Structure 1
Amino acid sequence: MTDAQAPRSREAGKAIDRWLRSHAAQVRLPVSLNAAIGLFGGLLIVLQAWLLARVVDALAIRGQALESVATLLAGMLGVFALRALTAVASERTAFAVAARIKPAMRDMLYAQIEALGPAWTRSQRSGELANTLVDGVESLEKYYALYLPQSALAALVPLSILVFVFPADWLSGLIMLITAPLIPAFMILIGKGAERLNQRQWRRLARMSAHFLDMIEGLTTLKLFNASRAESEIIARISDEYRKSTMAVLRVAFLSSLVLEFLATLSIAMVAVFIGFRLLFGDIHYLPGLFVLLLAPEFYLPLRNMGTQYHARMEAIGAAERMVELMETRPSTVSPAGGSYTVLPPEQPVALRFAAVDFAYTSDTPVLHGLDFALQAGERLAVVGPSGAGKSTLIQLVLGFLHPTGGNILVNGIPLDEIDPQAWLRRLAWVPQKPTLFHGSVLDNIRLGDIEADMDRIREAAANAHADDFIRDLPQGYGTLLGDRGQGLSGGQIQRIALARAFLKNAPLLVLDEPTASLDPDSERLVTAAVERLAQGRTVLSIAHRLDTVRRADRILVMNAGRLAESGSHDELMRIDGLYADLCRAYRGAAA
């Protein structure tokens, strides 16, 4: 989201606040416990003020001996000890809130991103999503751990104090009752501007995070095109915009603190002045006057703390704006017609049929038009065509990451949309051109194929993929840690680890996207041999670019502009002398 987009209205801010509160059920117990501890602490303050007032009255006014107030002093020590314990308990419960809410929110957001699928995430900036999952969730900690309990205490503690103040001095109680609402009123007025500033700050932070990630991923390109200086200037400008927005938020925060402190101090002074004059004229006794005067700062303290924590609310609303958008984005899944998914027999081979399948990313940009073909169980089908023909979209439809806008995809005669997506993904293995290896050990990366596989099965899969030999030569063998995206391995080694995953998964349907692309001759030979072994006894659908790969297929589909242009074996298509023959001649010319 950019600054050009209009900020959310105040009503939308309230809606985000309601969304945040709706998730408080996950931490209701520790939040309620924290508020109860705070209320108990407030009652201890009343007791402490009463004991202190009686001690001072006895010693300074009545001139009694110190021994006469020993019990009162012992009671004060007990109150001090209890207040210290409540402070520790409050801190512990706040920690419990944070420890519970942050993992729960991250799990929820991750599950939503997973449900939206790779097709959706490719349209987003990775840095913005990472910022939402990391910094955004972190910013919610103070909202749940501090703001929510304090919002309850801001009402409960002052009311509890008033219960004791009114019998002691009704006039001071009336002053407190009248002045108390001024603090939250001013807090809300100032918060109107702070909410907009916080949202802008978070949008700029997300933009900066996304840009930093783009720069790191494209550092080689920037160096090669001598664009580092220009990129540095862009980063400096984005960083300065974030600095300005942060300073604007801080100015409002400092201003609000100053105003709230001034109002609280002025209210306390009013109480003190009224009590002072009435003591002077004998309208109030010293003991109740001192008792009320000691309670006056404690009466306004929860309201002042509420003002301090109100900034946490604004920050949380700014951070949660992106979370709400994410959670409100509806996955492109299609519910099964009968309300429940159809179960595929576990050992049954897989056959596919595209029945007049259309697909469009938007209504005015169709990508596939009336695709109609069958892939028989155990058949090897290669899909070829010029760039932009729709090959990758076809694969995304088979994987279930996209859904047809017209027609149907049938798996063994069952509509794909009626099969449980997780169950369907367990029935296929996917080997792309550029496999993703995660930061972790070689063993962990292979085990993604089957997390319950033992070491013997993993070594067997690696051997079938011609990966076992080079893995054993690594410093720690299968325990060798890899960098992000397999840093430390060659392209051919990464591809063979991806094939080892597919061997380990042992799925009946194999989906390939030219795994030998961009490999050196030796790596290509090993990967080709591994693919041939992996394809035995399986249904294979592959996007093919190399002529040698295409000729191994039982049948070839030729796509052009989202339509099925030709279909047949290599020899049959060469005799037609159509698009496929042109592609073959172009490939031979490029290879020469």
Structure 2
Amino acid sequence: MSQTDTETRGARASRAPIDPRLLRRARAMRGFLALGGLLGLLQTASIIGFAWFVSVLVTGAIDGQSVAELSGSFAALAAMVLLRAFTVWAMDAAAAAGAARVKSQLRVSVLAGIRKLGPSWTAQRGSAATATLVGPGLDALDGYFGKYLPQLILTAIATPLLVIAIFLNDWLSALIVAIALPVIPLFMVLIGMATQAVQRKQWDALQHLSGSFLDVVGGLATLKIFGRERRQLTRIRTVTESYRSETMKVLRLSFLSGFVLELAGSLSVALIAVTIGLRLLDGDLTLGVGLFVLILAPEVFLPVRNVGAQYHAAAEGVTAAADVFDVLEQAEALPKQQTAAAASTAAPSTAVAAARGGTLRLQDLSVHRGDRLIVDRFSAEFEPGTLSVLAGPSGAGKSTILAALLGFVPFDGTVSLGGLHALRRDDVAWSGQNPALGSGSVAENVALGGRLAPGSAERAELLERSMRLAVASGIDPELTLGVGGAGLSGGQAQRVGLARAFYRWQERSTPVLLLDEPSSALDAETEARLLGSLREAADAGAIVIVVSHRQAVLAGADRIVWLETVHVD
């Protein structure tokens, strides 16, 4: 599926009153629509009942009926008021609950899709844009469920029923309503098309602002070192001004559309009121029927007008949801065989367990990034118990091969472990160039994703052994780190990341240990001790593959696989 096809289908779906992809991908949506339909039917009944009993009470009072004679109508009118109040409250409660469930389901789905697409896709899109989409973007669905969708349901149910009720009492007023009513949806379509364009620009501006702010925060230390931190003020100010400008365009369009819809609805109701007044004077219409129709007429136009007004509250959430569906469709478009380590993480079968002691084979592995060929038909075999080093110039595709083995990038070719064309996540322990540490203790970072219970003796023993293998025994496991692992030097952070890989290798008995430039921030003595740990892992039967250009690592390897940069004519 091409990106253009995805965008075209997403644009068509976002222009629909209800995106059909919401119904397919969020099961909670269907329950909300069913409940909303029932509540909308009850609310319509309360509106008709209210108009009927008000007209009965007014005409009865004019005819001289006593309060006692009208008490039944008063009670019925109060019941209609309470019923309408209950349905409005119930619709709000159902909308809040439905929004929470749908957002939860979509977040689970999109996170799974992002996981399948891998870090390379996230890096290309931008982590800030992805976080904005999964966080504030989906939170904007509250406006869609809380304001827009209830009005849409009420419009679909109430409008035709109210028109029928008017027709049964006065066909001429119903004819005027039928002629005037389509004018409002026509304005809504035109306004909706304009709103979609400006809302998309606002959403893009918000993602750009998030990415720019994240870039500045991430590089603030470097900027301060070179005294350039204040120069970023202009950049942030420019991006913020762009977002403010796009937001104001959305607000101006919202106010303008509200005015147009109110004007169209008011003129339509006024036309009905004038005709009813003239016919009452001529005696062609009774007062009871006239009052009943006159009370119902604004209620016919009110849901339609509210749908147009609330569309703007929902537009941001609809735009974000369309982006979510595009992410899911991109993930589903990936061929299953092109995500090696993205296979099932369920307990291994007997055949898979037997394959863990076998050779890791890469056959004609090719990786593209856009139109660029990074790795061209790479083939190699890695035996258990060996320490292999992938070496070569920068840009030769060393880290890309590791990313393919981890399932982070799609590839062509085959990867097999012990003869099986599947490399499972539980088959791999790895550490990248960026240790990617988070807030919490060193021990929590090392045991991230582990299965052993915190505080258990087995976990403590495994932590100690992993820290020793990573030459990180001098780092206090209880040391609390800040955001991004703040509190450690570059070399210490690298060793904590290595300890995490050793922890996983030992806890899950992974047959493959992948390390990307594990000693780039280490001194010679620490590097030599780390090489001893890698040799220990290989002697234990692991397939150890290291990306490195360091001479000490190359000298200590059992095998060196040299890669050359791919040249495309």
- Distance in 2 between the 1:359 and 1:303 partners? 53
3-state secondary structure, aligned to 2:337:
coil
**Residues 75 and 386 (structure 1), Cα distance of their counterparts in 2 relative to 1, 3 Å cut:** same
3-state secondary structure, aligned to 2:115:
helix
**1:49, distance to aligned residue in structure 2 (A):** 1.6
2:60 to 51, 58, 61: 58
3-state secondary structure, aligned to 1:518:
coil
**1:93, distance to aligned residue in structure 2 (A):** 0.4
**1:48, distance to aligned residue in structure 2 (A):** 1.3
Q: How big is each residue's C-alpha offset from its partner over 1:395-434, in whole Å with a ceiling of 9 and x where there is no partner?
A: 223333345546x4443244xxx21x5xx22112112233
User: Comparing 265-274 with 517-526, which one deviates more in the overlay?
Assistant: 517-526
Report the equivalent of 2:550.
546
Q: How big is each residue's C-alpha offset from its partner over 1:200-245, in whole Å with a ceiling of 9 and x where there is no partner?
A: 1111211111111111111122223333333221221222122121
Q: How big is each residue's C-alpha offset from its partner over 1:60-108, in whole Å with a ceiling of 9 and x where there is no partner?
A: x112222221122122222222222212211110011111111111111
- Distance in 1 between the 2:173 and 2:286 partners? 13
Report the equivalent of 1:497.
496
- For the 8 Å contact 1:388–1:561, the answer to whether it is kept is yes
3-state secondary structure, aligned to 2:352:
coil
**1:348, distance to aligned residue in structure 2 (A):** 3.4
Question: Given the two structures, how large is their TM-score scaled by the length of structure 2?
Answer: 0.86
1:517 to 520, 527, 543: 520
**1:355, distance to aligned residue in structure 2 (A):** 4.0
- For the 8 Å contact 2:339–2:410, the answer to whether it is kept is no
User: Comparing 21-30 with 293-302, which one deviates more in the overlay?
Assistant: 21-30
- For the 8 Å contact 1:466–1:526, the answer to whether it is kept is no
Report the equivalent of 2:484.
485
Q: Map of 1:316-355 to 2, 5 A cutoff?
A: 316-329=317-330, 330-331=333-334, 333-334=336-337, 344-346=352-354, 348-355=356-363
Aligned AA (2:356): Q
- For the 8 Å contact 2:126–2:211, the answer to whether it is kept is yes
Q: How big is each residue's C-alpha offset from its partner over 1:12-49, in whole Å with a ceiling of 9 and x where there is no partner?
A: 63233458323225211122212321221121111112
User: Comparing 342-351 with 502-511, which one deviates more in the overlay?
Assistant: 342-351
Aligned AA (1:385): G
- Distance in 1 between the 2:197 and 2:37 partners? 29
**Residues 64 and 561 (structure 1), Cα distance of their counterparts in 2 relative to 1, 3 Å cut:** closer
**1:250, distance to aligned residue in structure 2 (A):** 1.2
1:46 to 41, 45, 48: 48
Report the equivalent of 1:447.
447
Which protein is bigger by CA-based radius of gyration? Answer: 1
Report the equivalent of 1:30.
32
**1:529, distance to aligned residue in structure 2 (A):** 5.3
- Distance in 1 between the 2:251 and 2:339 partners? 51
- Distance in 1 between the 2:530 and 2:338 partners? 39
- Distance in 1 between the 2:463 and 2:336 partners? 35
- Residue 557 (str. 1) matches residue 561 (str. 2): yes
- Distance in 1 between the 2:153 and 2:410 partners? 48
Q: How big is each residue's C-alpha offset from its partner over 1:520-545, in whole Å with a ceiling of 9 and x where there is no partner?
A: 56765665554454443122111233
Q: How big is each residue's C-alpha offset from its partner over 1:144-189, in whole Å with a ceiling of 9 and x where there is no partner?
A: 4443342232132122122322232222222222211111111112
Q: How big is each residue's C-alpha offset from its partner over 1:285-306, in whole Å with a ceiling of 9 and x where there is no partner?
A: 2222112222222221111111
3-state secondary structure, aligned to 2:513:
strand
Aligned AA (2:264): L
Aligned AA (1:74): A
- Distance in 2 between the 1:300 and 1:321 partners? 29
**Residues 286 and 562 (structure 1), Cα distance of their counterparts in 2 relative to 1, 3 Å cut:** closer
- For the 8 Å contact 1:354–1:373, the answer to whether it is kept is yes
Report the equivalent of 1:392.
399
- Distance in 2 between the 1:298 and 1:412 partners? 71
**Residues 467 and 284 (structure 1), Cα distance of their counterparts in 2 relative to 1, 3 Å cut:** farther
Report the equivalent of 2:164.
163
- For the 8 Å contact 2:386–2:539, the answer to whether it is kept is no
Report the equivalent of 2:259.
258
3-state secondary structure, aligned to 1:560:
coil
Q: Map of 1:54-93 to 2, 5 A cutoff?
A: 54-59=56-61, 61-93=62-94
- Distance in 1 between the 2:327 and 2:149 partners? 24
Q: How big is each residue's C-alpha offset from its partner over 1:258-299, in whole Å with a ceiling of 9 and x where there is no partner?
A: 011111111111121122222222222222211222222222
Q: Map of 1:215-364 to 2, 5 A cutoff?
A: 215-329=216-330, 330-331=333-334, 333-334=336-337, 344-346=352-354, 348-362=356-370
Aligned AA (1:398): L
**Residues 349 and 283 (structure 1), Cα distance of their counterparts in 2 relative to 1, 3 Å cut:** same
**Residues 535 and 70 (structure 1), Cα distance of their counterparts in 2 relative to 1, 3 Å cut:** same
**Residues 9 and 486 (structure 1), Cα distance of their counterparts in 2 relative to 1, 3 Å cut:** closer
**Residues 163 and 481 (structure 1), Cα distance of their counterparts in 2 relative to 1, 3 Å cut:** farther
Report the equivalent of 2:214.
213
- For the 8 Å contact 2:128–2:211, the answer to whether it is kept is yes
Report the equivalent of 1:136.
137
3-state secondary structure, aligned to 1:430:
strand
Aligned AA (1:559): L
**1:361, distance to aligned residue in structure 2 (A):** 3.2
- Distance in 2 between the 1:367 and 1:88 partners? 58
- For the 8 Å contact 2:472–2:495, the answer to whether it is kept is no
Query: How many equivalent pairs are there?
Result: 545
- For the 8 Å contact 2:10–2:326, the answer to whether it is kept is no
**1:357, distance to aligned residue in structure 2 (A):** 4.2
3-state secondary structure, aligned to 2:353:
coil
Aligned AA (2:361): R
3-state secondary structure, aligned to 1:382:
strand
- Distance in 2 between the 1:263 and 1:10 partners? 32
**Residues 247 and 370 (structure 1), Cα distance of their counterparts in 2 relative to 1, 3 Å cut:** closer
3-state secondary structure, aligned to 2:390:
strand
**1:116, distance to aligned residue in structure 2 (A):** 0.9
- For the 8 Å contact 1:449–1:504, the answer to whether it is kept is no
Aligned AA (1:412): G
Aligned AA (1:486): G
Structure 1's unaligned 5+ residue stretches are 564-592
**Root-mean-square deviation over aligned CA pairs:** 3.3
- For the 8 Å contact 1:447–1:453, the answer to whether it is kept is no
- Residue 98 (str. 1) matches residue 99 (str. 2): yes
**Residues 495 and 229 (structure 1), Cα distance of their counterparts in 2 relative to 1, 3 Å cut:** closer
3-state secondary structure, aligned to 1:510:
strand
Report the equivalent of 2:20.
21
- For the 8 Å contact 1:466–1:530, the answer to whether it is kept is no
Aligned AA (2:75): A
Q: Map of 1:113-132 to 2, 5 A cutoff?
A: 113-132=114-133
- Distance in 2 between the 1:17 and 1:344 partners? 48
